[in-house]
Amino acid sequence: MPQDTFTIRLLAKELSSSLRGGRINRINQPGKEELSLLIYTQKGTLKLTINANAADCGVYFTTDNPPNPLTAPNFCMLLRKYLQGAEILSVETPGFERILIFRVLCFSDFSTAERELRVEIMGKYSNILLTEKGVILGALKTTTIDENCRRAILPGAPYLPPAPQDKTDPSDLPALYALLSPPLPEDLPRFLFQHVAGLAPCTAEQIVSGYRGGDFAQYVHDTIFSDEIAPCVVEKNGVPADFFARFVEGGIPFESISAAEQYFYAGRRRKKGFDELQRKLTSAVSSAKKKQEKRLSQILEKRRQCEGMEEDRIKGELLTANLYRLKQGMRSCELENYYDEAGGTVKIVLDERLSPADNAQAYFKRYRKQKRTLEALGPQETEVKAELDYSLSLLAAISSADRMDDLKCLEEELQLAGLLKQPEKRRKQAAPEYPFRRFEKDGFEILAGRNNLQNDRLIRSSSPDDVWLHAQKYHSSHVVIRTNGRPVPEEVLLFAAGICARYSDAKQGGRIPVDYCPIRQVKKPPKARAGFVVYHDYKTILTEPDTEAKEL
């Protein structure tokens, strides 16, 4: 994003025009590195966000209402003390620096004072400082005094601007002529970025792309200091990728730089929040899946250890049948195995401390123990496999989610399943019901569940003649075509099958079998996990995931 001096200078003019004469009514600090100012102006109330985060640094108007901490941070309290009720005189940039200066006139019961809120937009070095007469009153990020500190940032220290870059100031026209005298380098955008102060790489490319010959140095100077703006935001895969003060091909136009920034950062925050929640849910389910796989492995190992239980029973019976031939103190014996059709013999290990009858009972005892173990392992294995299958269905739903509502529904399901801690407030009040995914094709309404709970609710709310679809041998959303008693055309069926394949864990790019049948053929077994059903009298259709269908 071009948070360079070129863009910030134009933003300062825009902010100054909107805020001049306004009064700061409220100051909050919703984030560690984010301020929110509520400003009363003649044009109405404006909310200004000032962000000094390395990834999201910027200053723009917004309509968001992020939650504030119960106790205001120290810097927020300092600003409330000095800036509450202050009048904004102007918003400026000093020279050609990435700094916005809000000049404010502050009032108290006994005096007035002019102060400056300085916002340094410099990536990971971004900061917000309050100064008066060149002295720092407070800063969002402070430094300590030591020999290696070139710029002390702490209350009471004199304010020193950031060290200038070793680049040509574009306002210095003679220096610009000296830098850009012919012959010009081949990679001109890169050269401008490396040698002219205050230009981001994309801004340098924009400047060069508009050059049509003539005096290049004068052209660069005039372009940089022109007040012409045509803000826009460029998106990639539906997510804001960058914003510009002047229009670029493929951009979404906006009325102001601030509006473009607001759209850009709001989209970034949505994407960040979506990714974070998706990682959180995936981590919770993956952790449960690992435990289930470990438990299943232990069950299978115990089952393997019980594979020889029939041999123990046979040895016990052979020993019982041949007690007259055995004596205490024998370590082993070899007896005819009348269970073997070939008529062979079997060697049996004996405990020399036990009598022959006790040795036989020891084999019977081991047999009974292994039999009880197998009887107990059966239900445990069934339960663990069901839980593992349920976890896999959750992972499939999380990976196929493409909206925040999808993840919120899944978060609710994980909380109810005990995989995530349920907030105290949610325990006392009913959770909101999120709507189904909804599509339309040729007058037919098509609904898809966002999670297993919705899949169950979708089946319960459907009519017997509605058509139900599910990916065959894959975890997928349940999809229902509302028929209203009408026959379903093949085009609608193919469309709904594509939706079902889209929200499944099948690999993208291939044809996927999707089963379909009337809802009356779908049953949920008693005590079955959410989303689990059995169905019969179905047909199968092959289709590819439909990633182009637009959700209503």
State pLDDT tens for residues 183-203: 888 889 899 999 888 888 888
Q: Which tokens hold the place of 131?
A: 């100064």
Pick 468 or 182 by higher pLDDT.
468
Residue 147 confidence (pLDDT) above 90: no
> What is the spatial distance between Cα 364 and Cα 376, in angstroms, rounded to a whole number?
18
How many angstroms separate the first and last alpha carbons of the chain? 32
CA 175 to chain centre: 48
Rounded to the nearest 10°, the torsion over CA 223, 228, 230, 235 is 30
Cβ of 122: how many Cβ atoms within 10 Å? 16
> What is the spatial distance between Cα 104 and Cα 84, in angstroms, rounded to a whole number?
10
Mean predicted confidence (pLDDT) in 84-93: 92
pLDDT at 426: 47
pLDDT at 432: 55
Residue 22 confidence (pLDDT) above 50: yes
Report whether 275 contacts 37 (CB < 8 A): no
Report whether 92 contacts 101 (CB < 8 A): yes
Q: Which tokens hold the place of 77?
A: 């309290």
> What is the spatial distance between Cα 48 and Cα 39, in angstroms, rounded to a whole number?
7
> What is the spatial distance between Cα 103 and Cα 96, in angstroms, rounded to a whole number?
17
Report whether 16 contacts 91 (CB < 8 A): yes
User: What percent of the residues of the chain are helix, what percent strand, and what percent coil, each to the nearest 5?
Assistant: 40, 25, 40
> What is the spatial distance between Cα 165 and Cα 157, in angstroms, rounded to a whole number?
23
Single out the residue of 253, 203, 262 nearest to residue 51, CA to CA: 262
Tell the residue number behind the tokens 């680049």, with chain if given: 167
Half-sphere exposure of 483 (CA within 13 A, CB side): 16
Q: Which tokens hold the place of 466?
A: 């509605």
Paired with 516 in beta bridges are 469, 539
Residue 47: φ, ψ to 5°: -110, 120
Mean predicted confidence (pLDDT) in 56-80: 88
Q: Which tokens hold the place of 228?
A: 């012409």
pLDDT class of 428 with cuts at 50, 70, 90: very low
Pick 276 or 417 by higher pLDDT.
276
Q: What domains does the chain contain, in order, with CATH numbers?
A: 5-139 (2.30.310.10), 173-262 (no CATH), 306-386 (no CATH), 435-543 (no CATH)
pLDDT at 386: 86
pLDDT at 427: 46
Residue 75 confidence (pLDDT) above 90: yes
Question: Within 153-243, where are the H helices?
Answer: 173-179, 188-195, 201-209, 216-224
Paired with 101 in beta bridges are 92, 118
pLDDT at 424: 62
Half-sphere exposure of 437 (CA within 13 A, CB side): 27
Residue 343 confidence (pLDDT) above 80: no
pLDDT at 508: 61
DSSP per position, 416-434? HTTSSPPPHHHHHSPPPPP
Mean predicted confidence (pLDDT) in 310-325: 90
Residue 422 confidence (pLDDT) above 60: yes
pLDDT in tens, 212-221: 888 888 999 9
Least confident interval from 106-115, 269-278, 416-425, 485-494: 416-425
> What is the spatial distance between Cα 292 and Cα 384, in angstroms, rounded to a whole number?
6
Cβ of 228: how many Cβ atoms within 10 Å? 8
Mean predicted confidence (pLDDT) in 392-420: 84
Least confident interval from 20-24, 143-147, 161-165, 534-538: 143-147
Q: Work out the angle at residue 181's Cα, subtended by the Cα atoms of residues 175 and 183, and round it to the nearest 5 degrees.
A: 155
Give me the helix-helix angle, 257-305 and 5-19, nearest 10°.
110
pLDDT at 515: 93
Paired with 440 in beta bridges are 445
> What is the spatial distance between Cα 544 and Cα 513, in angstroms, rounded to a whole number?
9
pLDDT at 482: 92
pLDDT at 1: 52
Q: Work out the angle at residue 344's Cα, subtended by the Cα atoms of residues 339 and 346, and round it to the nearest 5 degrees.
A: 80
pLDDT, the chain, mean? 87
Cis peptide bond upstream of 183, omega within 30: yes
Question: 504-518 burial, b if ≥16 CB within 10 A, otherwise e?
Answer: bbbeeeeebebbbbb
pLDDT in tens, 449-468: 888 888 888 888 889 889 99
pLDDT at 382: 87
Tell me the C-alpha to C-alpha distance, in Å, between residue 318 and each of 96, 322, 328, 342, 366: 100, 6, 16, 16, 15
Question: 241-270 burial, b if ≥16 CB within 10 A, otherwise e?
Answer: ebbbbbebeebeebebbbbbbbbbbebbee
Tell me the C-alpha to C-alpha distance, in Å, between residue 256 and each of 34, 88, 139, 229, 456: 21, 20, 29, 8, 47
Residue 250 confidence (pLDDT) above 90: no
- Compute the residue count for the chain: 552
